[in-house]
Chain A
Amino acid sequence: MREQRKRRLGEHGLTIRSRFGDFSGPVNALTTDEVTAPVDVLILTCKAYDLASAIEAIWPAVGPGTAILPLLNGLAHIEVLNGAFGRERVLGGLAKIAVTLTPDGVIQHLNDWRFLTFGEQDGVVSARVAALKAAFDRTSVLATASPDVTQAMWEKIVHLATAAGMTCLMRANAGEIFRADGGAQLLLRFLEANAAIAAKAGHPPSEAFMAEYTASMLRDLERGGPVEADHILGDMLARARAHGQDDTLHAIAYAHLKAYEQRRAAERL
């Protein structure tokens, strides 16, 4: 399979299809037995379950000055890489990108995401981090040299743990969960539990992150789209009233959304 991939890459080059520019051209494709000289930066994109074999295989590419940039989800791999290669060689990093490999070997970019965030574990924006950013700045990748990449990685795992935990537990997508009675509350509890774990580790998610995570209805509202007033706030309002709880904020927000729905229906936004 991988030999076929390499042979195809040698014969046809690499093709990327993306709204940010197609690319078709040669790329130096290697198999691990052909990796003989150290590189300046090694971008590690294997899956976590392949990390041990990857560490074993990439030593020929690692020299005294090599920076290793792992883009795996989660956090646990950082300490594993620190132990294997030394903390001074290992950067923190994360990618936000949606790409897939088609059966004919083309890399298809699926949406606008092309974000890459990386930095030194100690927060210093080093010369090598600046140089790597400069390399990506010549491409359509939106690269950020972060002074606190560990915080960014924590926020990503809070996001992933919440999204993956809830969608897998419910066997449903986010929209279906929000429309389910009590689903939104459960998801927020999950989010808060994950955020509490991050806080215990000294990396509480920022207010901006928490706001972004919970404000999809606001985005719908701001683009003039339909909102789920009854399903979410209407439901919460009814529950608050049923239990004799203070319904002030829910009542205001619900009335606002119902008024918005009327103006939207009348095309008077």
Chain B
Amino acid sequence: MKIMALGAGAVGGYFAGRLASRAPTSASWCVNSASGGWASTA
């Protein structure tokens, strides 16, 4: 299962990190937008 968390705050990173530590899940974390959004921390 390919999962991607989008959002540069801590919530997205937390869930991406937890999933990344457990194969066979494939986890990505999208931390940037062209508009410069998504930077707020949770």
User: Does chain B have a CB within 8 A of A28?
Assistant: yes
Contact of B31 among A5, A43, A140 (CB under 8 A): A5
Complex CA gap A61/B30 in Å reads 10
Complex CA gap A138/B15 in Å reads 12
User: Does chain B have a CB within 8 A of A3?
Assistant: yes
B14 touches A99 (CB 8 A): yes
B39 touches A139 (CB 8 A): no
Interface string of B1-42 (1 = CB under 8 A from A): 111111111111111111111100111111111111111111
B20 touches A100 (CB 8 A): no
Contact of A29 among B10, B21, B31, B34 (CB under 8 A): B31
Greatest chain B CB density within 10 A among A6, A44, A45, A138 is at A45
Complex CA gap A47/B28 in Å reads 19
Residues of A within 8 A of B15 (CB): 43, 45, 95, 116, 141
B29 touches A54 (CB 8 A): no
B8 touches A44 (CB 8 A): no
A31 touches B31 (CB 8 A): yes
A15, closest chain B residue (CB): B17
Residues of B within 8 A of A230 (CB): none
Complex CA gap A16/B1 in Å reads 22
Complex CA gap A54/B12 in Å reads 13
Known: A30-B29, A32-B30, A44-B6. A107 touches B14 (CB 8 A): yes
Complex CA gap A31/B37 in Å reads 12
Residues of A within 8 A of B7 (CB): 44-47, 50, 54
B17 touches A16 (CB 8 A): yes
Residues of A within 8 A of B9 (CB): 45-47, 101
B4 CB to nearest chain A CB (Å): 5
User: Does chain B have a CB within 8 A of A39?
Assistant: yes
B12, closest chain A residue (CB): A45
Complex CA gap A23/B35 in Å reads 30
Complex CA gap A100/B12 in Å reads 11
Interface string of A95-119 (1 = CB under 8 A from B): 1010111000001110000001000
A29 touches B41 (CB 8 A): no
User: Does chain B have a CB within 8 A of A41?
Assistant: yes
B6 touches A31 (CB 8 A): no
B17 touches A28 (CB 8 A): no
A28 touches B20 (CB 8 A): yes
**Please, could you name 19 A-B residue pairs with CB atoms under 8 Å apart, sorted by A?**
A25-B21, A27-B29, A28-B20, A30-B4, A40-B3, A41-B3, A46-B6, A46-B38, A53-B33, A53-B34, A54-B37, A71-B11, A109-B14, A116-B15, A135-B3, A136-B18, A136-B19, A139-B19, A141-B15
3 closest Cβ contacts across the A-B interface?
A45-B7, A2-B32, A45-B12
